[in-house]
Structure 1
Amino acid sequence: MAGTKVLASKKFGGLGVSSLFALNRALIFKWVWRFLSHDNSLWSRVIAAVHGSSSHPISAAYNSPWGTIIKEVKALNDKGINLVSHCKIRVGNGLRTSFWNDLWIGDNQLKLSFPRLFALEVNKDCSVADKLNAPFTASFRRQTRGGPEAQQLEQLTNLLDSVSLSNMEDRCFWDLNGEDGLTASRFKVNVFVWKLDQDRFPTRLNLRGRNISSHYVDCPVV
């Protein structure tokens, strides 16, 4: 009964939050977010060194706590919930973003959207800065030919026309709420407000109603 009330909408006296199952998955994904957002923490650097770079798609080299996290993310993806696709990169100077491998422009990795051009690329781990600060085809193993190659080159060139680098660092953002970070702090605030509204704090009067004695009898709110 209490669980149902917590999950109910706020207008019906509930808390309006998701289930603990969903919250647990959100907190698990927070670790993935930290890894993808290049926060430069020791934890992220260790994961990158042990399991590989932080490019999409994420993976684990062997069974480990990180592997368990990746397993949960993939399980959600198999059910049609692709959380990683909502971790986008806002390019600044382009130094920390992989041109072909990261999800930084459009709805897919450029290596998947433009496979013919990616096959010609010699430096497949080049950054956005590397690619935009030099002639685009300079790192190709040969010049593009007609047909699909020429068509993809024109499409990609048009897509990149809107890109301009700045002096700011590249950073990740969560495109579902338009904010730069993924946080569970709002959940904590909702719990506090709901407890206050429902008079669920452990005051002396509430404790007495639950047959719990309190030694602080002088103050009704202790």
Structure 2
Amino acid sequence: MVAKVQTEMTIDVAGEEVEGSGELRWSSGHLGAGGSFYNHSSRNTTWLNIVKVGEYIDSLNINFRNSFFKKIGDGRSTSFWNDPWLISEPLKDKFPRLARLDSCTNVKVIDRVIRDGENLCFCGSWVREPRGRNSSDLDHLKMLLDQFQGYRSNEDSWVWKLSSKGTFSTKELTSIINSRTFSVNNNFIETLWNNFVPKKVEVFVWRARHRRIPVLEELDKRGIDLHSVRCPICDGSIESVDHSLILCPLANDIWLKVLNWWGFGGLTNWSINEIFKGKANCVMSETGAKIL
């Protein structure tokens, strides 16, 4: 299903919050307005990728695609059946049979919840009168509508439930994703980020510490058929992450030259994880410790 999210919501770009324009369409199990987007996305790789991003974020237990809902102002731009406004899901998902009986599937809230004196009441327009189970669903719907607080003078607006401010920003979403992706527990190596070095270096170090470098030992573990797993440079040992980055004579010479350049002593703990845990045995300056 499709949500048409007005991008008057705040969107963060490169750390700065700016006001967007036009519409942001988002595919969601609980956000939607008709099936046109689904049909369009099935032919458009860009939109399919956007949908996959939403699915991936949900897989991190963030519930992103259900995090948008409509806050009612004057009720003129919110679809009564298709937008999540009264409860956490669209009413057409909660009451699918009633939605199909409505004579106008994209009717607005203002056209179905009308003021009768000081009270608000539901004004249905049906293809045929609800009977049996549909009648029970209608009673349930009216009970939910009793919770509606009424209209306001401002326009309807989208609210993002994952933000305390209610406005969507990519910066805040990134922070939420990072908190789930890079959380530290007993099964994972602590993630170290350091503004002193370029991002690509930080990423490489993270991959090295998690054995995500495509050295011969790791490729062999993943079932790739290799002629040999020995180091192609020195042929003195298996090409592991530690060997290729530290223990290989060529890498070792580079380490010693760099350490001598910085005025350090030699390292005795030759392991990537020990170095970046700060347990390597060498004397270094404050700047050198920050780099390592």
TM range (shorter): 0.5 to 0.7
C-alpha displacement of 1:37: 3.6
2:158 partner SS: strand
Q: Which structure has more helix as a fraction of its residues? A: 1
Q: 1:44 maps to which residue?
A: 23
Matched, 1:120 2:101: yes
1-side partners of 2:73 and 2:162: how far apart? 21
1-side partners of 2:100 and 2:173: how far apart? 45
C-alpha displacement of 1:92: 0.7
Out of 80, 91, 101, the position equivalent to 2:82 is 101
C-alpha displacement of 1:71: 2.0
Point out where structure 1 has 5 or more consecutive residues left out of the alignment: 1-31, 189-197, 202-208, 211-222
Higher RCO (C-alpha under 8 Å, 6+ residues apart): 1
Q: Which structure has more strand as a fraction of its residues? A: 2
CA distance 1:65–1:150, change in 2 (3 Å): same
Q: What are the residue-to-residue correspondences of 1:67-216 with 2, within 5 Å?
A: 67-77=48-58, 81-133=62-114, 136-146=122-132, 148-163=133-148, 164-185=150-171, 209=287
Task: List per-residue Cα deviations over 1:71-103 (Å, max 9, x = no partner).
Answer: 221344466543111111111111111111111
Task: List per-residue Cα deviations over 1:166-201 (Å, max 9, x = no partner).
Answer: 22111111212332212245699xxxxxxxxx9959
Task: List per-residue Cα deviations over 1:117-138 (Å, max 9, x = no partner).
Answer: 1121110011111211387454
CA distance 1:187–1:92, change in 2 (3 Å): closer
2-side partners of 1:79 and 1:176: how far apart? 14
Task: List per-residue Cα deviations over 1:113-164 (Å, max 9, x = no partner).
Answer: 1122112111001111121138745411122223x11211111111112221
Q: 1:195 maps to which residue?
A: none
CA distance 1:42–1:62, change in 2 (3 Å): farther
1-side partners of 2:52 and 2:63: how far apart? 13
- Give the share of equivalent positions with the same residue, in percent: 25
2-side partners of 1:89 and 1:133: how far apart? 18
2-side partners of 1:186 and 1:128: how far apart? 31
2:103 partner SS: coil
CA distance 1:119–1:184, change in 2 (3 Å): closer
* Equivalent residues of 2:77, 2:156 under 8 A apart: yes
**How well do the aligned residues superpose, as a CA RMSD in angstroms?**
3.8
Point out where structure 2 has 5 or more consecutive residues left out of the alignment: 10-19, 116-120, 175-193, 198-286
2-side partners of 1:38 and 1:184: how far apart? 13
Q: TM-score, normalised by structure 2?
A: 0.44
1:178 partner SS: coil
CA distance 1:199–1:151, change in 2 (3 Å): closer
Q: TM-score, normalised by structure 1?
A: 0.57
2-side partners of 1:159 and 1:85: how far apart? 19
Q: How many residues align?
A: 158
1-side partners of 2:145 and 2:91: how far apart? 11
Out of 55, 58, 61, the position equivalent to 2:33 is 55
Q: 2:182 maps to which residue?
A: none
2-side partners of 1:187 and 1:160: how far apart? 32
> Based on CA coordinates, which of the two structures has the bigger radius of gyration?
2
Q: 1:65 maps to which residue?
A: 46
